[in-house]
Amino acid sequence: MANPNMANSVFIYGSTAYVTPATTATNTSWQYASTSSGTTGLTGLTPASGSVNRIGSIVATNITPNTTNVIVGVSGSAPYAAANAYFLAYQVSIPGNASLIVTDKSVPVYITEYQALGVTTSVANSVSFVVNLETIT
């Protein structure tokens, strides 16, 4: 089931996911605090079958004193594939010790089981990405 009917949802679980890419390759290995199992990984923020993830906000924070560039994209396939990506931010410069709000609750992004969210930085270990999301089942 690729697109569940959200009007008939049974549960909505809120969570915060985060990643600081250790390389300049596209990263899709998000971590989040699970209410049932502690810290858990979620590749590409792709939900389980019959669910959808509503992304409320994406914040990218440069944790170095130097400017770095970021790319944030939604892939039309899971796992993430750059060839199928549609970009929310592309080569956006973030000054040192500053943050960029890529999207917020006024422009939600929905990730289905056949999509994935990926992030890239121009300098490894330079940007922390934090995502607020709700899993709707």
Reduced to 3 states, what is the DSSP secondary structure of residue 22? coil
pLDDT, one tens digit per residue, over 15-50 is 999 999 999 888 888 887 655 555 567 788 888 888
**pTM of the full predicted structure?**
0.88
Domain ranges of the chain: 6-136
Compute the distance between CA of residue 29 and CA of residue 64 in angstroms, rounded to an integer.
21
pLDDT in tens, the chain (137 residues): 556 676 777 889 899 999 999 998 888 888 876 555 555 677 888 888 889 999 999 999 999 999 999 999 999 988 888 888 999 999 999 999 999 999 999 999 999 999 999 999 999 999 999 999 999 98
CATH number of 6-136: 2.60.120
Compute the distance between CA of residue 32 and CA of residue 130 in angstroms, rounded to an integer.
10
**CA-closest candidate to residue 102, choices 55, 136, 41:** 55
